Structures are given as C-alpha cells and as structure tokens.
Amino acid sequence: MRSVRRLSSGGRAGLYGPPALAWIALSVALTAQQPRTLFDTPDYRQDRALWADPAYYLFNSSRDLTDMQVDNRFGQKGNGRDDYRIRSPYPFTSSWEHYQAWLKRANGGTKHTAATLPDWDGLWAPRATWLDSRNIQAATVAAALTPQYREYFVQQAKAEAEGRGWWASAFCLPEGFARGLWRVGQFVVRPSQVVILGDANQETQVRWMLTDGRGHRPEDQQFPQWQGESIGFWDGNALVVHTNQIKGWNATHVLFEWSDQLTAVERYELVGGEIVGEVTLYDPEAFLYPLHAALRFSRDQGRPVYGTCSDTNGPSSNIFAGRGGVLNERVKGDPLYWDPNVARPWAAFYALGEKRP
C-alpha cells in the first residue's frame, strides 16, 4: 500500500508517510520519558518519589525558588550549590537529653556575677546560615522532613516559585522561632537572664533566656509561644539554652514548617570578634532527624531601630489574597483601605460611630 503524501503549495511532498510518523512517535516517547519537575508537573502530589531528588527542583536552592519570579527565571536550572550539612552531628534523640548532657559536662554550670559575665555589648549582624534559605538545595531540606511535612514543603516550594508566596510579615504576623534564630541584633547579658533583641521585617523581636537556675514552667501551665520559653546556663563563657513550648509555624522562603513539638538547644560564645553559635532543632512530628545549623554574628556599626509592621509593610488590613492565590494590596479608593500615614487613623473609626441616620 502506497503511503499517503500531501503536496504543499509549492508542489513538494509533505512528510506524512511512515518515516515521519515514526519520528513523531519517537519524539513523543522521548518527551514522555523526560523526568517530571516541580515546574511542569500537573500534580506535585503524584511525585512523592521525586520530592527528595535535586533534579526535581532543577538543582535550585530554596532561595532560588523563592526569588524565581522576581529574578524572571521560572523553570531555569540552578547551580546545584549545597553548602551545608543539616543533620545534627550529636547522638541525642531529644533536646532535653542534649541539654542535660551539656549541663552535666559543665558540672552544673558556671555561676557568674555582673563583674565576671562576658562582654557581648554592642550591635551584631548575622552571617551566612542555611536558615536564611541561601546555598542549600531544596531537595536537602525536603529529605529531612517526615512525609506530611515534606508534602507541606513541596506545596510551599511550588507556590513560591510561581509567585504565590505567603509570608507572615505581609500580614503583620510574627515570623516565628526559626527565622528569629538568625535575625539577632543584640545580646543583653545579665546575671539572671540574657535578652536577645532582633530586628525583623515587621517587628522588634524579644527572647528572654533565664539563667538563674529556674527550670521550665510546670507542664500543666505550658502553652505554645511565638519564641517559646527559654532557660539556660553558662558553661564558662559560653551560653547554653534550652527552648520548648514553641508555637508551630512556617519558616517560609522554601524552608520548612514545624509543629508545636519543636524544641531546641543553642550554644553561643564570643570567639575573637564574633559570636559563634549553633542550634539543634528537635521535632519528631516534622523532622526525620534533628536538624543543626551554625550561627555566627559579627560586629555591626549601625544603630537599632524599633520596627513595626506598618512602618515597613503597611497595615495588614490592606493585604489580601487575590485571584489565583497571589497576594494583593488595597489602594486608595477601596472602602477597606487604611492609610498608615494618616496622623489620627482612629478618628475615622470614631466618626463612623457618630454618624446618624
């Protein structure tokens, strides 16, 4: 049987015979064999076997995915850089076991007076850490998470890569414990406590670390808190901290969510001109194993600024999820718009109540 050949307007035969059909079939087959990625999948929930594979994210770091729309490089391949080992190097299975082991090693801790405490005065700026999402492969984070929290992670990664990010600061909500760990500006050291002050996008964050020998509050009085409850001791000139009662939240920026079971052990010490620290995070609900991050802070010559959400991001009442789940903002003319620059914004609310029919 002769192959069907269609003539083009120029009189040449069109290539629709068996050889051409075979080539088309081969092309389709090769396309079907291409590994599915986060960027072309019709349903990421069907890709569970790929979620811990760097190729699924085209070797992009977590920060690469967050910035993909801003940088106009959606679906492009990353450089594969993966600078950190995030699995804890310690043998402990719980943060309390970890903390107690270090307390025993320190012989119950060093008792300091105001005169013997280390001098950590001044302002500090954070150095690089994987907790800021940079230079860590998205797959490395995914591989550390339990199945449910891995799914949460991939959902977040896809949303942020497509420009559908959800960030706490956009709604004037606290950024939570994990982001606060590296956004530190000051260590206020006193004999009975250490206070950490941090400047986040939308707030001045405060953590109190009791070093007077008290333990955590009784279990029947415990409750989840944005920065948890911290107790600690001095091991020479090194501060060791245990934190529990941490409210479950999301680090966003394609990192991880955590549960109310998150607890942590931290250590800080002045080494040369820097404060060198580390944190080990324990969450049996969210993590397959404890996670570990190095922290480092160098001297900062700036000046502290008290931050509020409306100073930086505008009032949260103006932010809403628009069509397609993309964050949007109300503008003047919208009846629900609130102008943060109005000197007496409350007056408008008073006036509403004074109106008479």
pLDDT exceeds 60 at position 357:
no
Query: CA dist 253 to 67, 128, 153, 160, 242, Å?
Result: 9, 15, 10, 8, 26
Give residue 26's pLDDT: 56
Per DSSP, 141 falls in state H
| Average pLDDT of the segment spanning 12-32 | 55
pLDDT exceeds 60 at position 124:
yes
Q: Is 163 helix (H, G, I), strand (E, B) or coil?
A: coil
Give residue 20's pLDDT: 62
Q: Which tokens in the block code for residue 295?
A: 């922290």
Q: Is 55 helix (H, G, I), strand (E, B) or coil?
A: helix
* Contact present, 186 and 197 (Cβ < 8 Å): yes
* Contact present, 222 and 229 (Cβ < 8 Å): yes
* Contact present, 172 and 310 (Cβ < 8 Å): yes
Give residue 146's pLDDT: 98
Tens digits of residue pLDDT in 53-80:
999 999 999 999 999 999 999 999 999 9
Under the banding of pLDDT at 50, 70 and 90, the label for residue 14 is very low
Q: Is 219 helix (H, G, I), strand (E, B) or coil?
A: helix
Give residue 311's pLDDT: 66
Under the banding of pLDDT at 50, 70 and 90, the label for residue 187 is very high
Give residue 326's pLDDT: 82
Tens digits of residue pLDDT in 95-112:
999 999 999 999 999 999
Q: Does 170 or 231 have the greater pLDDT score?
A: 231
Give residue 7's pLDDT: 38
Beta-bridge partner residues of 137: 61
- Phi, psi (5° rounding) for residue 62? -60, -40
Give residue 345's pLDDT: 62
Instruction: Please tell me the distance from the alpha carbon of residue 75 to that of residue 327, in angstroms, as a whole number.
Output: 21
Give residue 308's pLDDT: 74
Going through the chain in order, the beta strands assigned E by DSSP cover 123-126, 186-189, 193-199, 204-210, 229-235, 238-244, 249-250, 257-258, 263-271, 274-282, 291-300, 319-321, 327-329
Give residue 152's pLDDT: 93
Domain ranges of the chain: 1-34, 95-309, 314-354
DSSP string, 224-292: -BTT-EEEEEEETTEEEEEEE-BPPEE--TTS-EE-TT-EEEEEEEEETTEEEEEEEEE-TTTBSS-EE
Say whether domain 95-309 belongs to CATH 3.40.640.10.
no
Which residues have CB under 8 Å from 254's CB, separation 6+?
A: 62, 63, 65, 66, 133, 138, 141, 153, 156, 157, 160, 161
| Average pLDDT of the segment spanning 109-118 | 97
Give residue 340's pLDDT: 64
| Average pLDDT of the segment spanning 233-250 | 97
Tens digits of residue pLDDT in 269-318:
999 999 999 999 999 999 999 999 999 999 998 887 777 776 666 666 77
Give residue 341's pLDDT: 67
pLDDT exceeds 80 at position 175:
yes
Sheet containing strand 123-126, edge to edge, reads 123-126, 291-300, 274-282, 263-271, 238-244, 229-235, 204-210, 193-199, 186-189
| Average pLDDT of the segment spanning 188-196 | 97
Under the banding of pLDDT at 50, 70 and 90, the label for residue 324 is confident
Mean pLDDT of the chain: 87
